[in-house]
Structure 1
Amino acid sequence: MSETPNLPASLTLVGAGKMGGAMLAGWLAGGLDPRRTAIVEAAPSPEIVELCAARGLALNPAAPPVSEAVVLAIKPQGLAATAPDLGPLIGPDTLVVSILAGKTIADLKARLPGARAVVRAMPNLPASIGRGATGAAASPEVTPRQRDRADALLRAAGLVEWLDDEALIDAVTAVSGSGPAYVFLLAEALAEAGVSAGLPAEIAARLARATVAGAGALLDAEATEAAQLRRNVTSPGGTTAAALDVLMRADGMPALLREAVAAAKRRAGELAG
């Protein structure tokens, strides 16, 4: 991977689990200086220990430095217990980037009194392999330079969409945050339907998995809109058209997804804080 411009000169990552560790790998590949990178992780995996030793990153230093950027990637429920130890990491000019689901900018500032410039981001599971979709919102104190820094950090995990209104994070959570589960359910249901149509379970599962993965790859590779790609594979009066007549009826897939996303957005709002 070529170097990524605008990465911060120094960084402290708080939480190096699956998501934090994957993002860290992307930052290092993009040119983040390992000598000015610190990792705070209560239970580092063997992979993180090995990475830190090999690349010279400071793992759980006794006195973590004040960095240009602090990325919070701990479990959301761990914020209350961890927050008192984070104060020394945050200076008046430190950019705080949080990927803690459900934790608002106001809540982060309340628990981290030294934090001024805060970016709240909502990535999704494919971010762990660099193919994620992230929505992000910035507090008013975030400068254009800091936003560039945050953008560079988040783009290591995939697509980034910036939101003018933090309240839209709930909608992002419902669409892309929870969205991978909807796609996995599609693969699961398609395989079950294949079994009902007479296919052996193992073959149906492999066909469904490859179909969903292949369609996703095609959607990513093509600039064509999803609706047009759908029309391209739907011959009038053919088998696909017969299936879509069922899926697109009034109570079909579009209506179900609208209902599902609305329910997820509503729940995200209830959990925020």
Structure 2
Amino acid sequence: MPHRSDRSPSSPSPALPSRDALAATLRAAGCVFAEDEADMILAAANGDPCAVEAMAARRAAGLPLELVVGWAEFGGRRIVVEPGVFVPRRRTEFLVEQALALAPDASVVVDLCCGSGAVGAALAAALGGVDLHAADIDPAAVRCARRNVESLGGHVHQGDLFDALPARLRGRVDILAANVPYVPSDEIALLPAEARDHEPRVALDGGTDGLDVLRRVAARAPAWLAPNGRLLIETSPHQTPGALTALTDAGLHAELAVCEDRPARVVIGTPGGAG
């Protein structure tokens, strides 16, 4: 009688789905830019059909694309993003552009509420050779930011706003970028599910009117800025008057920069009323 092996025949390897098939799956799940997302997933999977299947399933379940593939494009760079960390928004590139235009010779850069460290990394890459410090209160954000910042020679600190920074930076910061949380607490539930369900509340919730953290940053910024330093904070249209008031109340000269295309708004503070 022929001997039968105890081992089951090997199952055939699954085939790599075509771009069109993957895009159809994503579109059925509600992804508006299904073709572009399919390209990113296929590239991230590096030819592994099982990885494609797993990533497509996570995306269809509502996980942000950036967390599915593990990176976000920001300022011409790939920024590593991890689950539980705020995904950098492309509109925030406007804050980086304003900082570079106002302080092209900056040598000390601080990225407060840094999340993944995208803003600090973009600034350091553009300026070259800066003393870069990024800080966040969330341990997950700090771990992620280190992957993006330390390769540029930067330092990442954990703690509450300025309390996290080395004291030697007081009065020396040329660019103080603070992409603070500015969603009013009672509007968190109205956010898209990708943000509401997959990003930490601490990175979104700005208090009753969305300006709680902004006010705290503005109040302490003058002590940390260099004489010609700049504080830059992203805000929303309806919060702009309150944000500008917070800067002037702190003794800063306050102005507003607007980009209608993205859209984006950045309030800018300069110490001593200097323009």
User: Is TM (by shorter chain) over 0.5?
Assistant: no
TM norm structure 2 = 0.37
Q: Which structure: greater strand fraction?
A: 2
Query: What TM-score, normalized to structure 1?
Result: 0.38
Query: Which is richer in helix?
Result: 1
